[in-house]
Amino acid sequence: MPSSHETIDATNQSLGRVASRAARLLRGKHLPDFDPAAAPRVTVSITHARQLHFSGKKTTNQFYAKFSGYPGGLKQTSLGELFARSPERIVRLAVARMLPRNKLRRRFLAHLNVTP
């Protein structure tokens, strides 16, 4: 398969729309020879991640959780805090959660570049 490069400008767009478009491109669903068991050579760059738009009260009411495995080890961070610290991580998490949970997922994410 020939390799291609796609760029998505995230200025004033919602996180879900940018992430779903990136996930679709990374999987290769836009290609005529789509094969769900193969990783296409498509590189996706998302620019201006800091200028994403969130509607409603998502920045204060939506949380990202991580668990250390120890009792009382659940840590929650709001979308607003995480977005202020690292907007690239928010976009990468959204795209990763839209990809299939299989062995190709890591290879898809290796072809994703996010710039603030």
Structural tokens at position 102: 């299989």
What's the rounded Cα separation, in Å, for the pair 47 and 100?
24
pLDDT band at 3 (very low <50, low <70, confident <90, very high): confident
Q: Rounded distance, CA 4 to CA 21, Å?
A: 15
pLDDT digits (tens, 9 = 90+) for 5-32: 999 999 999 999 999 999 999 999 999 9
At 40, list the tokens: 């296409």
Query: How many CA atoms lie less than 13 Å away from 22 in the CB half-sphere?
Result: 32
Please tell me whether residue 66 adopts helix, strand or coil conformation.
strand
Kindly report, residue by residue over 59-107, the tens digit of the pLDDT. 999 999 999 999 999 999 999 999 999 999 999 999 999 999 999 999 9
Q: What is the DSSP letter of 25?
A: H
Fold (CATH) for 4-56+86-114: Ribosomal Protein L13p; Chain: A; (3.90.1180)
